[in-house]
Amino acid sequence: MEPFVYQARPQRIVFGTGTIAAIGDEVTRLGRSRALILSTPQQEDTAADLVATLGSLAVGNFPGATVHTPVEVTEQALAQARELKADCVIAVGGGSTTGLAKAIALRTELPQIVIPTTYAGSEATPILGETSGGKKTTQRSLRVLPAVVIYDVDLSLSLPPALSVTSGLNAIAHAMEARYARDRNPVISLLAVEGVRALASALPRIVRNPADRDARSDALFGAWACGTCLGATSMGLHHKICHVLGGSFGLPHAETHAVILPHAIAYNEPVTNALLKPVADVLESATATEGLFNLARRLGAPTTLAEIGMPREGIARAADEIVANPYWNPRPVEREGVLRLLEDAFAGRQPS
């Protein structure tokens, strides 16, 4: 066994069916009584139901969360939190809402309770990505780690199959990079394989039957496992590419991860083959790259950057931004290779 360091995160997880009923208990357990509920505009009704459930423990809701956590939106939510004298925030939704809760926590140290309705996994990490002036930056801080995460299988039943697929592939990306991260450890390496196994098994069942509770439960567990992997290790080329494409070109978050994932793994697999072999076995493929690409196609996920809004003329600029300030990666991040990766992903070619 090689030497390693593993830092457990101080976070409470409540997982099951109907667990949202415990929200009031979790607020009082934190010693709080003035919760501000956060959501996207699309989930405003869910947030309103939560306000009603909490009664006097809720002081209002802010339904303006949006993708990539723009700083200007954070400032609006922060102003409302201060006006209402909120002493905690509750995020219900996917990564956009969780990101907003984290951004508020960073600036105020208010505790967060997150109720995920997708498989993004951000709720399990001390990582915050924010967008300002067309650039997305990320940082790590325990100040942005949610205090409590409530996973309720019932809330994931209405997640459309297409979004379930892209959100699930987004989560798998977290586990994939954890397998070869510079700060990997055996605890997280095992969890990464189990996270991929759970999602690779659950997503085809969800596509066939979105109301399959067992599949939804497995997917939600996989999302937690993969998110925990991301929170415990560092990110590599895959996440750098997605951050650039999202922040600079406004591409949708989960769909971008779904398209880029097999191509980023193909870039790294020549030097990480042994580390990725357990994942290839789970995917019943000769290589992890092949398994991921075939999984995405079977699930009907987007496979080209063109179809999710990437401009062809932006590829060279994206490559420049990626290599200008790369994250640590097991294979050197070189412009020619990154450019080829982006061109393959743009056209939807078999990863090379």
DSSP string, 260-296: HHHHHHHHHHHHHHHHHHHHHHHTTSSSHHHHHHHHH
CA atoms within 13 A on the CB side of 323: 16
Lowest mean pLDDT across 85-89, 116-120, 131-135: 131-135
| Residue 182, Cβ density class (10 Å: 0-12 exposed, 13-18 middle, ≥19 buried) | exposed
Q: Where are the domains of the chain?
A: 12-156, 161-347
Please report the pLDDT score of residue 320 as a whole number: 97
Please report the pLDDT score of residue 310 as a whole number: 97
Beta strand pairing call for 127-132 and 88-93: unpaired
Please report the pLDDT score of residue 9 as a whole number: 84
Q: Which CATH class is domain 161-347?
A: mainly alpha
Please report the pLDDT score of residue 133 as a whole number: 86
Q: Is the pLDDT of residue 1 over 80?
A: no
CA distances from 335 to 258, 317, 346 (A): 22, 11, 16
Q: Is the pLDDT of residue 2 over 80?
A: no
The arithmetic mean of pLDDT across residues 23-42, rounded, is: 97
Please report the pLDDT score of residue 6 as a whole number: 83
Give residue-wise pLDDT tens across range 310-348. Answer: 999 999 999 999 999 999 999 999 999 999 999 999 999
Would you state the CATH architecture of domain 12-156?
3-Layer(aba) Sandwich (3.40)
Give residue-wise pLDDT tens across range 172-221. Answer: 999 999 999 999 999 999 999 999 999 999 999 999 999 999 999 999 99
